[in-house]
Amino acid sequence: MSRLISVRIPATSANLGPGFDSMGLALDLWNRFELHITDEAAGRNKPNKPMVDVRGEGAHTLPRDASHLVAQTMLEELQRIDGERQPRGRKSAWRNRQAGLADLRASIRIVCHNRVPCASGLGSSSTAVLAGLIFAYALAEQAAHAGFLAEAGLIDRVLHRAAQIEGHGDNVGPALLGGLIVVSSQGDQVIAQRIPTPKMRVGVCVPAVDLLTREARAMLPTQLSRADAVFNIGRALLIVEALRSANGALLQQAMGDRMHEPYRLPIIPGALEARRRALEQGALAVCLSGAGPGLLVFAKAHHRRIGQAMQAAFAEAGVTARYWVMDTTDQGAQIEMGDRVAAAAAAFTCGARRNHPPRKR
In this predicted structure, the answer to whether residue 359 has a pLDDT above a threshold of 80 is: no
Helix or strand run (H / E) with residue 162? helix 155-166
Residue 101 has pLDDT above 90, yes or no: no
What is the reported pTM? 0.89
Query: In angstroms, rounded to a whole number, what is the distance separating the alpha carbons of residues 323 and 294?
Result: 9
CA 52 to chain centre: 19
Mean pLDDT of the chain: 88
Secondary structure letter of residue 300 according to DSSP:
S
Q: Find all residues with CB under 8 Å of 199, minimum gap 6, and list them.
A: 327, 328, 329, 330
Q: How far apart are the first and last CA of the chain?
A: 33
Q: Which residues, at least 6 apart from 16, have a Cβ–Cβ distance to it below 8 Å? A: 23, 24, 25, 239, 243, 287, 296
Distances from the Cα of 66 to the Cα of 8, 72, 109, angstroms: 21, 6, 10
Other CB atoms within 10 Å distance of the CB of residue 175? 35
Query: CB 119: neighbour CB atoms within 10 A?
Result: 20
306-330: average pLDDT = 98
Q: What is the mean pLDDT of residues 167-185?
A: 93
Residue ranges matching CATH 3.30.230.10 in the chain: 2-196+330-343
Which is it for strands 334-337 and 340-343: parallel, antiparallel or unpaired? antiparallel
Contact 205, 268 (CB under 8 A): no
The mean-pLDDT minimum among 114-123, 137-146, 198-207, 241-250 falls in 137-146
Alpha carbons 220 and 243: distance in angstroms, whole number: 27
Please give the average per-residue pLDDT across 24-39, as a whole number.
93
Domain 2-196+330-343, CATH among 3.30.230.10, 3.90.1150.10, 3.20.20.70, 3.30.460.10: 3.30.230.10
Residue intervals of the chain classified under CATH 3.30.70.890 are 201-327
**pLDDT of the residue at 93:** 45
Give the whole-angstrom CA distance, residue 341 versus residue 28.
17
How do residues 251-291 score in pLDDT, each as one tens digit?
Answer: 999 999 999 999 999 999 999 999 999 999 999 999 999 99
* Cα 64–Cα 67–Cα 70 angle in degrees, nearest 5: 80
The pLDDT tens digits for 140-170 are 998 988 999 999 999 989 999 999 998 879 9
Contact between residue 45 and residue 114 where contact means Cβ atoms under 8 Å apart: no
Report the CATH fold assignment for 201-327.
Alpha-Beta Plaits (3.30.70)
Mean pLDDT in residue range 211-233: 85
Higher local confidence (pLDDT), 216 or 200? 200
Q: Residue 48 pLDDT more than 90?
A: no
Of the ranges 65-74, 237-246, 348-357, which one carries the lowest mean pLDDT score? 348-357
Tens digit of pLDDT for each residue in 116-138? 999 999 999 999 999 999 999 99
- Mean pLDDT over 65-81 rounds to 94
**Single-letter code of the amino acid located at 287:** C
**pLDDT, greater one: 358 or 78:** 78
Percentage of the chain modeled with pLDDT above 90: 71
